[in-house]
Amino acid sequence: TGSIGLLAFQPDYYNAYIGLPNKLFDYMLCGLPIVASDFPEIRRVVSDAECGLLVDPTNPDAIAGAIIYLMEHPEEAQRMGENGRRAVLEKYNWEEMEGRLLAMYRRIEGQGGTERIHDFAG
């Protein structure tokens, strides 16, 4: 079984750079500490939940260093994993996000489609 959730998306894929991959929330719900690309939206969630480490995805040494750090600090890794699970159960779930998503769609509709999508998860 895995003990760390790795999200090493590369910056050449714009959607990965601005998006929030489902895999992030899957790992969090499983209670895994995260090692993730330091992209704006991922950074916001990981930092808010205090559930992992952010790395430059183009730097293999940084990725390896973060993985090694979590393996050498199991108590901290466990705390991060628990934080992530709690964040999904309390905040990053359909019940909590449904209203925000619908409100964002209504704003987009009212503004002729000019609302910024990234405002949804904040």
Task: List the CATH number of the domain containing 81.
Answer: 3.40.50.2000
Model confidence at 114, in pLDDT bands (50, 70, 90)? low
Instruction: State both tokens at 115.
Output: 């609302």
Whether residue 55 sits in one domain with residue 13: yes
Segment 28-86, tens digit of pLDDT? 999 999 999 999 999 999 999 999 999 999 999 999 999 999 999 999 999 999 999 99
Same-domain pairing of 65 and 83: yes
Q: Are residues 84 and 102 in the same domain?
A: no
Q: Let me know whether 111 and 74 are in one domain.
A: no
Q: Encode burial over 3-37: b for 16+ CB neighbours within 10 A, e otherwise.
A: ebbbbbbeeeeeebbebbbeebbebbbebbbbbbb
Give me the amino acid identity at 41: E
Q: Say whether both 80 and 98 belong to one domain.
A: no
Burial of 49 (C-beta count, 10 Å sphere; 0-12/13-18/19+): buried
- Please tell me whether residues 74 and 106 are part of one structural domain: no
The reply to whether 25 and 78 lie within a common domain is yes
Structurally, the chain folds into a number of domains equal to 2
Predicted pLDDT of residue 117: 52
Residue 2: left if φ>0, alpha if ψ -120 to 50, beta else—which one? beta
Give the global pTM. Answer: 0.78
Domain housing 110: 93-122
